[in-house]
Amino acid sequence: MKLAETGLAAQALATSVRRNTEAAMIDPRQPPALYAEPMPPGERGRPRLIFPGLMRLYGPLSALAETVMRVVAGGVLVTHGWGKIGDPFGATELAQGLGFHPGELWSLLLAVTEFVGGLCIAIGLLTRFWALAALAVLLVTVYFHWIVQAQGFKGSEYSIVWASIMLFFAVRGSNRHAVDALIGRQL
């Protein structure tokens, strides 16, 4: 009996070593694959699933959920920038009032960031660049609502949530369901 237990332990150790060796050989230039096993090598440190079988559901849906979040976030930026792109200098006084000079330049950049940047984020083109630009705009809106208008958290909570979404895409970039993936390049 003990001999059989020793054999099973040796087999488990060999499997563990093989997986760790495979993890060391993962090409960092390749996007992470979807895994069906409970704890893929690249995911060490994450909590294990209580029901490992759910990974078959979570794996494929994670890329879809990320794509939906990117498309919705980009689409909301587009709709928010629609009025600004029609009058790109309409926010000149607001920009100057916040200390951004020349106001015309910053108003134009705001319109382009929201409209063009939103389109690019939605389709996944230069995602990191446009998400970083949108993050900058959103951090200014947090400052505007929290400090300038003295609304505190209550007035800036939406901007904080949107800023965190843009931070995610500025760091993560796009996934395989994006124009960046089609052209094979990201920033």
pLDDT of residue 21: 46
DSSP code for 124: T
What integer pLDDT is reported at residue 37 of this predicted model?
44
pLDDT at 68: 95
DSSP string, 83-110: HHHHSTTTTHHHHHHTT-SSHHHHHHHH
The chain-wide mean pLDDT, for the chain, equals 81
Identify whether the C-beta of residue 152 lies closer than 8 Å to the C-beta of residue 132: no
Q: State how far the Cα of 144 lies from the Cα of 157, in Å rounded to an integer.
A: 12
Residues 6 or more apart in contact with residue 163 via CB below 8 angstroms: 135, 138, 139, 142
Query: Which amino acid makes up residue 60?
Result: P
pLDDT of residue 8: 57
Token pair of 57 as six digits: 């559901």
pLDDT, position 91: 86
pLDDT tens for 6-47 read 555 556 555 554 554 444 444 545 555 444 444 455 566 778
The pLDDT value recorded for residue 11 is: 64
> Is the per-residue pLDDT at 148 higher than 70?
yes
Res 5: pLDDT: 54
168: which 2 tokens?
A: 């995610």
What is d(CA 121, CA 129) in angstroms, rounded to the nearest whole number?
9
Note down the domain range covering 67: 2-183
Each residue's pLDDT tens digit, 60-96: 888 899 999 999 999 999 999 999 999 989 888 888 8
Band of residue 112 on the pLDDT scale cut at 50, 70, 90: very high
Phi and psi at 175, nearest 5°, equal: -110, -160
Weakest mean pLDDT among 17-31, 78-92, 124-138, 151-165: 17-31
Give pLDDT tens digits for 92-110: 888 888 888 898 999 999 9
Number of structural domains found in the chain: 1
d(CA 49, CA 39): 8
CA–CA gap between residue 87 and residue 50 (Å, rounded): 53
